[in-house]
Amino acid sequence: MSTTKTPSTKRGKLVNLRNFPGFTSTSWFVMFFLYIPLVYVVIYSFNSSRIGSIWKGFSVKWYGKVLHNTDIQRALKNSLEVGISATILSTLLAVMAALGLLRMQRAGKAVAMALIGAPLIIAEVVLAVGTLGLFIAVGVPLGKVGLIVAHTAFCVPFALLPIRARLSQLDMAPFEAASDLGANERQILRRITLPLLSPAIIAGALLAFAISIDDFITSFFVAGPGSTTLPVYIFGMIRSTVTPEVNAISTLLLLFSSIVLIGSYLIQRKRR
């Protein structure tokens, strides 16, 4: 897109088609709307008052409470274990699917894409109760293993998204050159395909991790009492008592999400 601003000057008056009346103010309003609730939560996480809505002075005591809460520690550990496992597994499956699907026949590809795409279209609650039914039917105990299986399944489409996009843009010349120079399929995969795909694989993995860590509904149904994840625990906290602790833990998670986003942005910029 051109960046030079050349307002049309016909019909006597200056008209800039890049600026429509009200667009700027609407945009600022929307940005304000998106961030005010988050800013409010962050500010009130430093409120010393026990009652959430009344400001009584600055304090970090709720952060101390959160950090010393063993239930939160356990839930965080569960979330990280499930999230990291599901990220590794779903990214691996996504790479395999992306490479294998390139040469698959139409019918097989259609079935595969329907299975991969289902979590993007079908309401999560439906898949969650179906997975609950599956685990009870085949005797998978409700816990971490089941959680990892369920999370891996719905993370695959997210991990696949950037990988497929990158794969479709790849220049075939290096592959042909390598093949002409005598590289076998395995060498091409290891030395050319995977390195060329690596930024997309990292982006896919980050996306999968974010989706897994944030997941509430599936974890709510499949976790079982021993393996409560952080979102399920926070949901319980919000439901039972609104202590400023919820604000503090939310702020910590906001910080974490921001760091992950900035990190992925920096990785991608470095690679370019």
Q: Does 130 bind another protein (CB under 8 A)?
A: yes
Closest distance between another protein and the C-beta of residue 113, in Å? 6
Q: Using alpha carbons, select from 39, 23, 185 the residue that is nearest to residue 99.
A: 185
Exposed/middle/buried for 75, CB within 10 Å: 0-12, 13-18, 19+? Answer: buried
String of contacts with another protein for each residue 69-88, x by CB under 8 A: --------------------
Q: Does 101 bind another protein (CB under 8 A)?
A: yes
Q: Which stretch binds another protein (CB under 8 A): 59-67, 68-76, 80-88, 247-255?
A: 247-255
Task: Report the C-alpha gap between 253 and 245 in whole angstroms.
Answer: 12
Among 131, 212, 227, 228, binds another protein (CB under 8 A): 131
Among 27, 48, 73, 198, binds another protein (CB under 8 A): 27
In this structure, are residues 17 and 2 in contact, taking their beta carbons and an 8 Å threshold? no
Q: Does 140 bind another protein (CB under 8 A)?
A: no
Provide the H-helix boundaries in the chain.
23-44, 61-68, 70-101, 106-121, 124-138, 144-169, 173-180, 185-188, 194-214, 217-222, 230-240, 244-271
Q: Does 194 bind another protein (CB under 8 A)?
A: no
Q: Which stretch binds another protein (CB under 8 A): 64-72, 80-88, 244-252?
A: 244-252
Q: Does 94 bind another protein (CB under 8 A)?
A: yes
Closest distance between another protein and the C-beta of residue 226, in Å? 18
Count of residues of this chain found to bind another protein when the rule CB under 8 A is applied:
107
The pair phi, psi for residue 110, each rounded to 5°, is -65, -45
Closest distance between another protein and the C-beta of residue 78, in Å? 15
In this structure, are residues 188 and 94 in contact, taking their beta carbons and an 8 Å threshold? no
Closest distance between another protein and the C-beta of residue 234, in Å? 6
Q: Does 175 bind another protein (CB under 8 A)?
A: yes
Task: Report the C-alpha gap between 166 and 217 in whole angstroms.
Answer: 31
Give the distance, in angstroms, between the CA of residue 225 and the centroid of all CA atoms in the same chain. 25
Among 132, 145, 202, 267, binds another protein (CB under 8 A): 132
